[in-house]
Structure 1
Amino acid sequence: MAQTATPSGAPTPEPSRWSERGGAGYTGSGVMFAGVLLFVDGVLAVLNGIGALANDEVFARVGSYIYRFDLTAWGWIHLILGVILLVAGVGILKGAAWARMLGVGLAALSIVMNFLWLPYQPLWAIIIIAIDIFIIWALLKERNPHAPA
């Protein structure tokens, strides 16, 4: 990175291409939005898990679906994954380096989980899958400003 001199003669770094685009640290606008979506995805997964644990009658009955699990098991799966999604979302919003790749991995896991959840809530699962695809795209699209060029 090139440096320029201030009137006092002290060198100051020139702004990077990342900061010129409006990004701050690891969190450009797309990454920030992905962090918010990941956080919201986690909240919704937690609520979905609580609903499955509290009352089995909320969800549709599945006939002979090959990936059929007990709704209590699905409730725990959603609850645990939702809490981890929340942590990753907060990490992305705080600009933590570890959170971006964790967010990509968790969004991919959420896609698989919601594919298996399709018979219970088809429309909702498709919406969450679309959101997770956007999260992965946004987190991988923007270049890490601290990575070597």
Structure 2
Amino acid sequence: MSQAAPHAAGPKPPRAHGPENVWAASGTLFAGVMMLVAGVLGVLEGIAGIARNQVYLLSNELTGTYVYEFNTTTWGWIHLVLGIIVAVTGFGLLKGARWARTSGIVLAGLYVIAHFMWLPYQPIWATVGIALGVFVIWSLCTDRTRYMP
């Protein structure tokens, strides 16, 4: 009378939910919220830059001449457009839309690049934006549980 061993030979099925995915799954929710909030703040930042050209000043004494030195109105439009798209994608992530994951990764990459170029204007906020963008990319690339068929 032999019984089958509880652990039969063969490949183990992947675990859909487990301790290793908790951070990633929580991170996806956090990524959606952060993209939504960062998008709204980007819109406000953009409106401030468009409305008044002297809101953000580049200090040449501190940085010298800056390669990515644009007119503040141009930076305002960049932040406004990117903010709208990031906020919509963050909302899509919160709704569980499949398109939002890939779009979120791409937009978070653009967000990181834009904030890197924005460093001389707002160094602390730009550094926070870069860190959040990297975390959003990590969380969207790591959590596969919500998007697997």
TM range (shorter): 0.7 to 0.9
Q: Distance in 1 between matches of 2:147 and 2:47?
A: 39
* Higher RCO, Cα 8 Å, sep 6+: 2
Q: Distance in 1 between matches of 2:18 and 2:135?
A: 24
Query: Which residue in the other structure is 2:112 paired with?
Result: 111
How many residues are treated as equivalent by the alignment? Answer: 129
Question: Is 1:58 matched up with 2:55?
Answer: yes
Q: How does 1:138-149 map to 2 (within 5 A)?
A: 138-145=139-146, 147=148
Query: Which sections of structure 2, spanning at least 5 residues, go unmatched?
Result: 1-13
Q: Distance in 2 between matches of 1:99 and 1:146?
A: 11
Query: Which sections of structure 1, spanning at least 5 residues, go unmatched?
Result: 1-15
Q: Once the two structures are aligned, what percentage of the paired residues are identical?
A: 47
Task: Indicate conservation of the 8 Å contact 2:54/2:72, yes or no.
Answer: no
SS at match of 2:120: coil
Query: Which residue in the other structure is 1:71 paired with?
Result: 72
Greater CA drift, 29-38 or 71-80: 29-38
Query: Which residue in the other structure is 1:5 paired with?
Result: none
Q: Distance in 1 between matches of 2:18 and 2:58?
A: 53
1:47 pairs with one of 44, 48, 51: 44
Distance 1:58 1:145, change over 3 A: closer
Higher strand share: 1
**One-letter amino acid of the structure 2 residue matched with residue 40 of structure 1:** V
Q: How does 1:84-123 map to 2 (within 5 A)?
A: 84-123=85-124
Question: Is 1:37 matched up with 2:34?
Answer: yes
- RMSD over aligned CA atoms reads 2.2
Distance 1:19 1:57, change over 3 A: same
